[in-house]
Structure 1
Amino acid sequence: MQSHQQIARWPTFRRTGTTLLTLACALSWAGAQTEIEPAPGSIGADIPGLYFGPAPSDSMKELVGPVQLLRSGTVDTDKATLTLPLYRGQTKAGKNVWYVLTDTNDAGNAVALGLNYSAKLGFAAVGKASRNATLQKDGTLTFDRGTVNFAPAWSITPGQSPNFFPPQAFKAGSVGDADYTPLVRLENVGGSVYNAPILAYDVSAEQLAQSCTATGGKVNHAQVHDKVLSICPEGKSGGTVTLQLTTGFSFSKPVLYLSLDASDELPAAMEQVTVAPGLKDLTVGGDDGAFSAVERLFAAVNGPTGKGNPQRQGFNSALGDAGVAGPLNVLGGIPTVATDYSPMWDLNVYAWTKAAIDAGYRSRMIEEFQVLGMAERGFITGPGGSKFGSSGFVVNCPIVFRFK
């Protein structure tokens, strides 16, 4: 739907005939947590942290304090990982589909299953943006279409310093066919829409069990999603899967979220996620308007760089600063903060202007209206001086945890 405009809204990138360099994916997640996790309240006080009462969010989750938002799994905040139930479904041809559930527009089932509630997903059942599934008597889902190839090896070659973005070359590690989208509509049981990203396709439970680190296995990313750290099928219906989380901010609150799919290969390679072409049918550029299925996510091209820099942020840093954990994107509304949450994010990419950089205004952005205010004043624009706004790309990033 947006394909004729998408790449034009990003800076020109080039492929080279030289050997493709693979960007190392060994991230120091403990160090990454110090970039976003709030300092303890005991700093500067006359009593140790043990004497402080519970966080206000323990009494009312809308108040300040940590809250696990996606409650269907176990979060390890030190390692920035999430362990979720793993589900097995099948195609009409009988091939195994291994997936997780993260969000739904069914409010009652969101509470019952510990999923994120997103009313906006009800407007995602358009075109190829959602697949249909039929609930079977045994409790499994049969999907009408959509496959994913996990065999490609993810790689990305940063651009030349200091402009590491856009990358010189890139390749997504998993690619869906033209019909693939993580969104699924249950057509025979009410029509609710679920976010059900595929993590492995057309492999047996026995094959998948070899990627279970709990039993001595080693994850085979030629068979599973690149964010999988361990996957352990058990029994007929599934088992568990542990996934790497991504760090970011939403309305000044440090957060952890899952990054699992993107509508096009460039954002998929940048996020190390699956290309999901069906997401191109979601309308972008009008979030929070009537019938919008998306919310906005803001990503900097040329934010401050330098590992250990407390202002570090953006694509140049993610590609050029070894050992950092991602670009530290800014998400719009999330549950407990706003009512407009959607795991389908309209990617708004921005660049700091030379005038803003020269004036010393460039800094880490941690909430939506900071970004919008800078755009209003002309201190940030779209990439390459283009108009600020939607890039045309959609990314699937369910929110998992907020720190304050």
Structure 2
Amino acid sequence: MKRIFAACLAVSCCTSAFTARADEPSFTLAQALERAGATSPAIESGAAGVLAAQAARSVAGLRPNPELNIQTENVAGSGDYRGFRSAETTAQVTLPLELGGKRPARVALANAQQDRAQIEQAVIVADLRLAVTQAYVTAVSAAERASVAQRQVAIAAEALRAAQARVRAGRASPLEAQRAELAHLNAQATQEQAERLANVARANLGRLIGGPVAGTLDLRWFETLAVAGPVDRAAVSDMLTARAAALDVATADAQVRLAGAQRVPDLQLFAGPRRLSGSNDTAMLMGINIPLQIFDNGGAAQAQARAERQRADATRRMTEIQLDQAIASADAEVANAEIAARIASGPALAAAQEAARIARIGYREGRFGQIDLIEAERALLDTRMAAIDALATYHDASARRDRLVAPASLFAKD
């Protein structure tokens, strides 16, 4: 997946060390998608489905096999028919004749099913891309939460040292040192929990792409928000979900055609030599088998196929309506998430950082109380976490929208 270079970087919620780490070589989303495409069992499943449909297309084009029937009559009886003296042996070849265009109808159905299998393969690929993207977003956001928690431990440790110094200087009561120590312990616990969740998210991403994730994740991509503007998309009818529903209709059409062809009875021509053991003569046997469609003339099967076709067409129209509604909702969700991410990682974060900086300076100089410092630090932590959550929500919403609007042509193969 190509990165969007024409984008606005959100205001960083990290220190200079954090920015330096973002510039290091990282394991990108494109690399994760590439690895998943090469190793995922889902891809193998989709490819096997296409191969099966191609084989079914070959089978549909074959003519019915002839039959060879050898039978012996008038044997093992009594009198003149004792033993094989009066045996009549016939070697008969039966040739089925398909009428009504059954073979072209079978081929048309197999072609439709093959097209449907190819779209199903594309759907599998699109779903895998979505799953990998969501796992990547979860992993990078969890890593950022762990990083914020780690910095919060350092901030809490500094606050603890400042409180202890104030207590030793007689400028504050021992209660302040106790509060600072409790905040430090809580920060350490939060860090341990965040690191554990980050390790789990990273391991889950590795399981999905078929191997461990090496290096840091792409923070620059995570912080990038796409520039809002008009979106050039394929028509709803050309999107993967709608295209799959349309091919279901095409398959149902082919089923109707095949059901109509099957109403025409097939003939069987047979011929072969018959040897008469009693006179040692040979004669030819020829004939034709004509089915009598007395109880089942195929009308019910054709009516069923027509009803299935009607249902497939109704499902297609309903799918397009629902897809259109889902895209509109997804557009609104992405737009709202983009605004929330810009605010949370921009003005809101800057304000919280400035408030915390002022509170630290004021606390060290004795102008602010410890409660003011604790509240400012808590607000900064909450804002940093909210910024990460907002970015994760934005990327998740974008990935789900991309899956909705994915055109079938994007996955077409030569």
Q: Normalised by the size of structure 2, how large is the TM-score?
A: 0.20
Q: Which has the higher helix share?
A: 2
Higher relative contact order (CA 8 A, sep 6+): 2
Q: Normalised by the size of structure 1, how large is the TM-score?
A: 0.20
